[in-house]
Structure 1
Amino acid sequence: MNRQVIEHAGVPVGIAVQQDDAYRFIAVKFHVIDLDEHRFNSLVDLRAAIRDHVAQNRSVLAA
C-alpha cells in the first residue's frame, strides 16, 4: 500500500492512500474533515481540493 503525508500551509492534514487508479484521503485535522474518505484522481487534485476547501471555509467564517 502506497501512502503519502499531505500537508497544507506546512501542516500535515492527512494521508493519501493509493487505491487502484485513485487516491483516498484520510483526514487527521478537523478543518479538512469534510474531505475525509473522498477519492481523487491525482495528488495534485487532492491538494487543490484541500486548498479550495480551506479557502471557502475561511470566506464563510469571515462573512
Structure 2
Amino acid sequence: MQVCDPASVTFTAQTAGWTVPARDGGIDGALDVTLTGAVSMGPIADDACQGAPLTVYLQAGS
C-alpha cells in the first residue's frame, strides 16, 4: 500500500449542507454524498500516488 504525502492533496471547501436521516428502528441514518472535484492531487505527488484511490474522513458539525 502506497502512503502518499498529504501535502500533495488539496481539498476544496464545500458550502452546501446535508441532512442525514435520524436512526429509525435500530437502523442508522445514512446519506451518500458525491463531491465531484472536491479533492485533487497535485503534480508534486510521487508517481505511484497519481491516480491512487484516496480515503477522506469527514467530521460532522453543526
- TM-score normalised by length of structure 1: 0.28
Larger radius of gyration: 2
Bigger RCO (CA 8 Å, 6+ sep) = 2
The structure with the greater share of residues assigned to helix is 1
The structure with the greater share of residues assigned to strand is 1
- TM-score normalised by length of structure 2: 0.28
